[in-house]
Amino acid sequence: MNFELNDEQLAFAQLARDFARQDLAPFAAQWDAESIFPIDAFRKGGQLGFCGLYSPEAQGGLGLSRLDSALVFEELAAADPSTAAFFTIHNMATWMLCTWGQPALQAEWGERLTSGEQLASYCLTEPDAGSDAANLKTSARREGDNYVLNGSKMFISGAGSTDMLVVMARTGAAGAKGISAIAVPANLPGIRYGKKEEKMGWNSQPTRAIFFDDVRVPVANRLGEEGEGFRIAMKGLDGGRINIATCSVGAAQGALNAAQAYLGERKQFGKALAEFQALQFRLADMATELVAARQMIRLAASKLDAGHRDASTYCAMAKRFATDAGFNVCNEALQLHGGYGYLRDYPLERLLRDARVHQILEGTNEIMRVIIARRMLEADAPESIR
């Protein structure tokens, strides 16, 4: 097994690092403080391919692997986890449309989304269906060549500021097999948006509820076959869990970089903090956890790229471990800054706030444990998991 990145991967990572340093880092604090959704940054990132990283090349995407895409997302998140996370959400929704959409839908929307000219939101969660997503209630009743959507979605990133909504709605009976995925233009009559939620973090992307009141959408906008939506959603979430785990590692790397610099600059009791062995040990533990999390993500991404039968389990493992470890590293880095880490003059408190929600979304870490344990207890679970 080769753990070294090849020249092309290193080049993608460097491109993302340069973009993050020039176009995200100088503005991240302002976007956070003023709750600015940086559309121009997304469009500029789109010009570099960051809005269609793993979407098919036929629709203007780069067609990268999930492993290669993770390298890009990590670099973006090291500067601004909130904005990087929306890049990942847009990529997931765009990939779904470009993979399962009908040819006419792909022709109309594919390149507009992969280029970043227009943006997409992913709509699965509902007020009464978070972890239990298979019991969602939003309905899509068929009337001739249209679906009529009624219901609501909750906690939707980008809602009210994006152009396309990938909506999971019930077209059939109760349970997972009655759910279909539908691409819904965000400005259709009957769509209403709730208030912009006040959040602990992720302030560079708006979060709102969405209400559908007799919204008419062409049947041609369905992704895949009727009843295939939940399977598409779960495929999206496998990659989404890698993506959000990667954002945690990126945030942790940014925090660790800040802590390393601070320990060398700050003096107490007549010597630099970096000379105190207790603090050296804490720094060493942070780096070790970060490397372990990164390698687990890359293992899971490799499994997903290879179509491994247990890819979902490895994605759940990576998401659980990396989001917990990433938050812990951010918290330790803030502690090493002392009182200064609590001030908004330093990036630590923003990195910490942005990283906290990663333990909740794309499936809570408690649900990740359910997924892992369920697979371990199956009769055909491989020895490597069991």
Q: DSSP label at 57?
A: G
The domains spanning 7-114 and 230-376 adopt the same CATH topology: no
**CA 354, 245, 253, 71 torsion-angle sign:** negative
Q: Where are the domains of the chain?
A: 7-114, 121-225, 230-376
Q: Residue 187 is which amino acid? A: N
In the chain, DSSP finds a helix count (H) and a strand count (E) of 11, 10
**CA 160, 43, 71, 66 torsion-angle sign:** positive
Q: φ and ψ at 146, to 5 degrees?
A: -130, 155
Q: φ and ψ at 192, to 5 degrees?
A: -125, 150
User: What topology does CATH give the domain 7-114?
Assistant: Butyryl-Coa Dehydrogenase, subunit A; domain 1 (1.10.540)
**CA 64, 116, 86, 29 torsion-angle sign:** positive
CA dist., res. 25 & res. 108, Å (int): 33
Q: Which two tokens stand for residue 143?
A: 């009337």
CATH of domain 121-225: 2.40.110.10
CA distances, 208 to each of 85, 158, 162, 201 (Å): 16, 8, 11, 14
Select which of 8, 108, 362, 383 is catalytic.
362
Is residue 362 annotated as part of the catalytic site, yes or no? yes
The pLDDT tens digits of the residues spanning 136-182 come to: 999 999 999 999 999 999 999 999 999 999 999 999 999 999 999 99
Could you tell me the pTM of the whole model?
0.95
The pLDDT tens digits of the residues spanning 5-61 come to: 999 999 999 999 999 999 999 999 999 999 999 999 999 999 999 999 999 999 999
CATH of domain 230-376: 1.20.140.10
Q: SS3 for 383?
A: coil
Query: pLDDT truncated to tens, each residue of the chain (386 aa)?
Result: 678 899 999 999 999 999 999 999 999 999 999 999 999 999 999 999 999 999 999 999 999 999 999 999 999 999 999 999 999 999 999 999 999 999 999 999 999 999 999 999 999 999 988 888 899 999 999 999 999 999 999 999 999 999 999 999 999 999 999 999 999 999 999 999 999 999 999 999 999 999 999 999 999 999 999 999 999 999 999 999 999 999 999 999 999 999 999 999 999 999 999 999 999 999 999 999 999 999 999 999 999 999 999 999 999 999 999 999 999 999 999 999 999 999 999 999 999 999 999 999 999 999 999 999 999 999 888 877 76
Secondary structure in 3-state letters for 16-36: HHHHHHHHHCCCHHHHHHHCC
